[in-house]
Homo-oligomer: A and B are copies of this chain.
């Protein structure tokens, strides 16, 4: 990852949270510590493929991490990245 202007870094993180489905996913993961993809799909009124795309966007932003766990994929919050966003917002 090349070094990023802070405004770009902030914008990238903000944009990752710029969709209600992604906000709900993050909120769910914050409350659950970790969650398998299928459970996340069950919590949203969206097709599995759509949720998968949102998960990909969140993962690319660094806000969540994921790992294969048997036939499933487990996701969780990357608290240091989320903390970074909070930090950037507080000192904006």
Contacts and interface: CB of A to CB of B under 8 A. Distances in A.
Interface string A55-92: 00000000000000000000000000010011001101
Question: How many monomers of this chain does the complex have?
Answer: 2
Given A26-B92, A89-B85, A92-B30, A11 B17 contact: yes
Query: By CB atoms of chain B within 10 A, which of A5, A11, A22 has the most?
Result: A11
Interface size class of A (residues with CB under 8 A): 20 to 34
Nearest to A8: B20
Contacts of A18: 11, 14-15, 18
Interface of A: 5, 7-8, 10-11, 14-15, 17-20, 22-24, 26-27, 30, 82, 85-86, 89-90, 92
